[in-house]
Every structure is written in C-alpha cells, then in structure tokens.
Amino acid sequence: MTEEYCFILIDDVAMNNLLSRYILKNNFPNSSIIEFTDPKLGLTYIEENCDNANSIHFITLLDIYMPVIDGWDFLDSYENFNDNIKKNCSIYVLSSSINKADSDKATANKNVNGYALKPLTDTLINAIVKEIENRKNLAGRNSKK
C-alpha cells in the first residue's frame, strides 16, 4: 500500500517540511517524499511527473502563506493542469491558520481535498491516506458498474 504514494511537501519554512518528513517516514517508510520551499518548483515537479504516474498517487501537503507565490496562487496555477494530473494528485492544505475564512476558502476549492491544521501527526496523515483510499475504492466500484 505504501509504495503507491508519493508525498510532496510545499512549505516555505524548511523546518515545517522537516517535521512533516519525520512523520511521513515513520508512517510510510517506503514512500517517496519530495520537499519544496519554493512553490513554483513544486508546481513544475507536479506538471512534469504526475501526468504519467502509473500506479503512484501524489499527495501534496500545501502551506498557504508563503512569499511571492502563496498557496492560493499555487492552486490557481494548478487549476490549469490537465485532468490526468488532477486524477493522480490529491492536495491537502496544511496550515497553522485557525482562521475559518482560510479553511472555508480552501475547502471551497474543487482541487483541494481537505484542510488540516499543523503540525502533521500520525493520526492526521493516516486519516488523509484512508480518505484517499476510500475515494479510490469508490471510484473503482463505480467504474465496474
């Protein structure tokens, strides 16, 4: 199960990525973890690698408030990506903001699968993955019908 996922961490504060990396490594030791402090590079990586992903599903943990390109700008650019990329990717906003306006805005975006509060924990990442698997199973059953 764990080999099916590649985690993309996008946060301008390197230490936040470090903390997330520890949690991910502990829970999904065989998964790939790619870290970006520059969201632009994260977008480029997704565009170049997620189109032909075979069986790998990409889980992006996206911070919101970042300089120059913030999470909202990231999502605006992501909207222009093709459907195949979007099918192979799930985006979860991982923010320290407890502002309801931020969580509302994030969950209102059709490309965002969920909003989670920092820090990333074992429980949180397992819930995220479980939710993705349920979604994939549901999609599989619907396609067989």
DSSP 3-state of 125? helix
Q: Which of 1, 29, 55, 68 binds other proteins (CB under 8 A)?
A: 68
Of residues 12 and 131, the one with the C-beta less far from other proteins: 12
Site string for other proteins, 82-121 (x = CB under 8 A): --------------xxxx-x---------------xxxxx
Q: Which of 7, 10, 16, 132 binds other proteins (CB under 8 A)?
A: 16
| 50-53 contacts, C-beta under 8 A, 24 or more apart | 50/81, 50/84, 50/85, 50/88, 50/89, 51/82, 51/84, 51/85, 51/88, 52/84, 53/88
Residue 4's Cβ-count burial label (10 Å; 0-12, 13-18, 19+) is: middle
The stretch near other proteins (CB under 8 A) out of 7-15, 44-52, 83-91, 136-144 is 7-15
Q: What does the binding site for other proteins look like in residue numbers (CB under 8 A)? A: 12-13, 15-16, 18-20, 22-23, 26, 65-68, 70, 96-99, 101, 117-122
